[in-house]
């Protein structure tokens, strides 16, 4: 007998044909937490494990209609947002969020791929700042994305503090990921209301990975949908993500792909 309902996470993410990042990362990471992913594609990409060659937006009406049908049918426990790509996709995500303000939103602000290629059009930033971030429960930027969103004149820590004061319909917390900093160990930091709440340390692994940010944000969404509080959701999702990277495989010729299942 199945007594506990399986938490369902609506994923608004891009498609990465390598299977390393994007929607496939979400589905696998969410399944590994014992939850169910309901996938809605926001952008389509052309890429291999080295680089991104291009991307296209998806019709925003399709995103909204798909999301609405899911909300009518399934008890959605959290929304995970990854690559939006275009301002139109960001507006579609904001529309779904505003129709369900009670559902926590975890947003991984995907602006660049691992090799630094752009995964967002410039006009996306304004829409994300004004329409998406104020309704998010948690943002998971890396240091580059945090500064890009809050202001390049700020340090990454200042940017994370600033972003954690932007919540309007939600108390927006920020998990600043430290992978891109030039430090021997990796330090991830959780900020709330402009203050540092907790630091999480992990040893730096030797390889470059494709989809580590997606793995972290979607496992976090699943842990929050399971009812974990923010600190324990961060700890569990970071531990899980670290394990997937320890077991990662080089399936193509470039970045390694996390082993999530």
Interface positions with ligand PLP (CB under 6 A): 13-14, 16, 21-22, 45, 47, 52, 82-83, 110, 113-114, 119, 210-214
Around Cβ 71, how many Cβ atoms within 10 Å? Answer: 17
Residue closer to ligand PLP, measured from CB, 164 or 212: 212
Residues 31, 37 contacting (CB under 8 angstroms): yes
Residue closer to ligand PLP, measured from CB, 80 or 161: 80
Query: What tokens were used for 190?
Result: 């959780």
Question: Which among 195, 217, 207 has a CA at the least distance from the CA of 110?
Answer: 217
Query: In angstroms, rounded to a whole number, what is the distance separating the alpha carbons of residues 51 and 253?
Result: 11
Query: In angstroms, rounded to a whole number, what is the distance separating the alpha carbons of residues 258 and 261?
Result: 9
Q: Smallest distance from the beta carbon of 101 to ligand PLP, in angstroms?
A: 25
Q: Smallest distance from the beta carbon of 73 to ligand PLP, in angstroms?
A: 25
Query: What tokens were used for 16?
Result: 């990465």
Q: What is the dihedral of CA 16, 101, 232, 183, to 10 degrees?
A: 50
State how beta strands 195-203 and 185-192 pair. antiparallel
Residue closer to ligand PLP, measured from CB, 172 or 212: 212
Using only C-alpha atoms, the chain has a radius of gyration, in whole angstroms, of: 17
Q: Smallest distance from the beta carbon of 158 to ligand PLP, in angstroms?
A: 22
Q: Smallest distance from the beta carbon of 103 to ligand PLP, in angstroms?
A: 21
Residue closer to ligand PLP, measured from CB, 7 or 258: 258
Residue closer to ligand PLP, measured from CB, 135 or 213: 213
Q: Smallest distance from the beta carbon of 20 to ligand PLP, in angstroms?
A: 7
């Amino acid at each position: 007998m199945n007594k506990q309902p399986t938490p369902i996470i609506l994923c608004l993410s891009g498609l990465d044909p390598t299977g390393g990042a994007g929607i496939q990362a979400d589905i696998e990471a969410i399944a590994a937490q014992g939850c169910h992913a309901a996938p809605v594609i926001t952008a389509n990409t052309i890429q291999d494990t080295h680089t991104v060659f291009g991307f296209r937006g998806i019709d925003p009406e399709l995103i909204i209609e798909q999301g609405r049908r899911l909300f009518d049918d399934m008890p959605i426990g959290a929304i995970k947002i990854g690559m939006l790509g275009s301002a139109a996709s960001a507006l579609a995500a904001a529309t779904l969020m505003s129709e369900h303000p009670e559902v926590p939103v975890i947003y991984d602000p995907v602006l660049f791929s691992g090799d630094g290629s752009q995964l967002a059009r410039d006009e996306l930033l304004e829409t994300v700042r004004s329409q998406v971030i104020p309704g998010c429960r948690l943002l998971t930027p890396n240091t580059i994305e945090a500064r890009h969103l809050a202001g390049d004149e700020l340090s990454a820590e200042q940017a994370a503090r600033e972003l954690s004061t932007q919540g309007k319909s939600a108390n927006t917390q920020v998990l600043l990921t430290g992978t891109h900093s030039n430090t021997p160990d990796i330090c991830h930091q959780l900020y709330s209301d402009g203050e540092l709440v907790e630091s999480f340390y992990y040893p730096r692994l030797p390889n470059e990975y494709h989809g580590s940010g997606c793995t972290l944000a979607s496992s976090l969404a699943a842990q929050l949908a399971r009812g974990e509080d923010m600190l324990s959701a961060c700890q569990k999702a970071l531990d899980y993500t670290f394990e997937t990277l320890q077991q990662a495989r080089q399936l193509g010729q470039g970045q390694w792909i996390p082993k999530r299942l």
